[in-house]
Amino acid sequence: DVKVTQSSRYLVKRTGEKVFLECVQDMDHENMFWYRQDPGLGLRLIYFSYDVKMKEKGDIPEGYSVSREKKERFSLILESASTNQTSMYLCASRKTGGPETQYFGPGTRLLVL
Amino acid sequence: DAKTTQPTSMDCAEGRAANLPCNHSTISGNEYVYWYRQIHSQGPQYIIHGLKNNETNEMASLIITEDRKSSTLILPHATLRDTAVYYCIYLSGANNLFFGTGTRLTVIP
């Protein structure tokens, strides 16, 4: 089974703090994604990466950056956390080629005070 | 974003089959239909996908109409642990999945 893990299930940070969310997958998938999920808005793509050191902006990249130094790890960085970044953050991975099945981690619920 | 239409909510008695419909009238010939579910406060879980033929795995069956404009996810013997929001999705030229609001399935004891 594909396993995608995220570093924290729950996180509380203060406005202006730098926040790191880590995601690791163990299936040698080339593609990795960061989404945020908010009530009534569904999942929105923040960034994705299709290879090591490669990154592409999703629909809502503002206020976020990412890092992919190793194939299995994809980090989401909030440079200066703000209250409107309070959300559920979901990481996913997918193998290149074939169906577009994405496998998700358990999510990190971030509260910015 | 590729749009699908699903009922907002459904109930199903425990042990009975749950049939969750989805309309995807704008799907094109080479786009797969995917089903995911999300149990409260967890990440989405992949269930099944299909292109043209009906599919079955250990979790569910997927019935796709011949014109591919709609599909039905079938959970053959629903349990309380199947209570979740179920999403029907397909991609349309994008690299991300548009989940929409899904169907909230409640399995009733």
User: In the structure, what pLDDT confidence band is assigned to residue A41 with cuts at 50, 70 and 90?
Assistant: confident
- What is the pLDDT, as a whole number, of residue A36? 94
Using a CB-CB cut-off of 8 Å, the residues of chain A touching B32 are: 99-100
Name the minimum distance, in Å, from the CA of A75 to any CA of chain B.
17
- What is the pLDDT, as a whole number, of residue A86? 97
Contact at CB, B97 and A102, closer than 8 angstroms: yes
Tokens describing residue B52: 């043209």
Q: Establish how many alpha carbons lie within 13 A of residue B78's alpha carbon, considering only the half-sphere containing its beta carbon.
A: 22
In chain B, which stretches have pLDDT less than 50?
none
- What is the pLDDT, as a whole number, of residue B53? 86
Beta bridge partners of B52: none
B43, B97, B99 ranked by CB distance to A107: nearest:
B43
Contact at CB, A48 and B101, closer than 8 angstroms: no
The answer, for B53 touching chain A at a CB cutoff of 8 Å, is no
The owner of tokens 């926040």 is A19
User: Mind listing the pLDDT tens digit for each residue in A55-95?
Assistant: 999 989 999 999 999 999 999 999 999 999 999 999 999 88
Name the minimum distance, in Å, from the CA of B8 to any CA of chain A.
12
Question: Closest residue of B to A31, CA-based?
Answer: B95
User: Mind listing the pLDDT tens digit for each residue in B68-93?
Assistant: 999 999 999 999 999 999 999 887 55
Sheet of B84-89: strands edge to edge? B9-13, B103-108, B84-89, B33-38, B45-50
Residue A112 and residue A50 in contact, taking contact as beta carbons nearer than 8 Å: no
For an interface test with A, which of B53, B97, B104 has the most A Cβ atoms less than 10 Å from its Cβ?
Answer: B97
Nearest residue to B105 (alpha-carbon basis) of B72, B81, B76: B81
Contact at CB, A107 and B49, closer than 8 angstroms: no
Phi, psi of B15 (to 5 degrees): 90, -15
Name the minimum distance, in Å, from the CA of B32 to any CA of chain A.
7
Using a CB-CB cut-off of 8 Å, the residues of chain B touching A40 are: 101
Question: Closest residue of B to A58, CA-based?
Answer: B96
Phi, psi of A15 (to 5 degrees): -55, 135
Residue B15 and residue B76 in contact, taking contact as beta carbons nearer than 8 Å: no
- What is the pLDDT, as a whole number, of residue A40? 79
Name the minimum distance, in Å, from the CA of B77 to any CA of chain A.
23
User: In the structure, what pLDDT confidence band is assigned to residue A1 with cuts at 50, 70 and 90?
Assistant: low
